[in-house]
Amino acid sequence: MNYQRFFEDPIDQLHAERRHRVFADLERIVGKFPRAIWRSNGRAQEINVWCSNDYLGMGQNADVIAAFQTAAGKMGSAPAAPATFPALERPPRRRQERPNHNRCW
C-alpha cells in the first residue's frame, strides 16, 4: 500500500472540491485592538479583526498575558489548535472558569 497516496488523495479531493480551510495570515498589533496586519499575495494591509474568540481584546490584557507567560514557563507551549481539539495537557481550572456545556475533553 502506498501510504503517501492514501493520505494525499483525499486531501487533493478536498482541495478540488474547495472544502478545505484556508487560514488568513494575520498579525495582531499590541495596543491597537482590534487592528491587525493581514498578509496575502505578497501584500500587507492593516485591517480590523473581530474574532469571536477574542471579541473583548483580552488577548492584549496585561493580566492575561502575564498568566499565559507564567503557564508557558511552567508547562511549555505548543502550536495553537482549534478549540474543538482536546488538549493533551491542561493547567488546572476552577469550575467557574469554564461552563459545563460544550466541553471538548
Task: Return the bridge partners of 28, or none.
Answer: 36
Over residues 44-53, the mean pLDDT reads 87
Over residues 27-54, the mean pLDDT reads 90
Residue 19 has what DSSP assignment? -
DSSP, collapsed to helix, strand or coil, labels residue 83 as coil
CA distances to 12, 14, 16, 69, 78 from 3, rounded to whole Å, are 14, 18, 20, 40, 27
**Using CA atoms, how far apart are residues 43 and 27, in angstroms rounded to an integer?**
13
Residues 55-103: tens digit of each pLDDT: 788 888 899 889 989 988 988 877 665 554 444 445 555 444 545 444 4
pTM assigned to the model: 0.54
Residues 5-33: tens digit of each pLDDT: 999 999 999 999 999 888 889 998 988 98
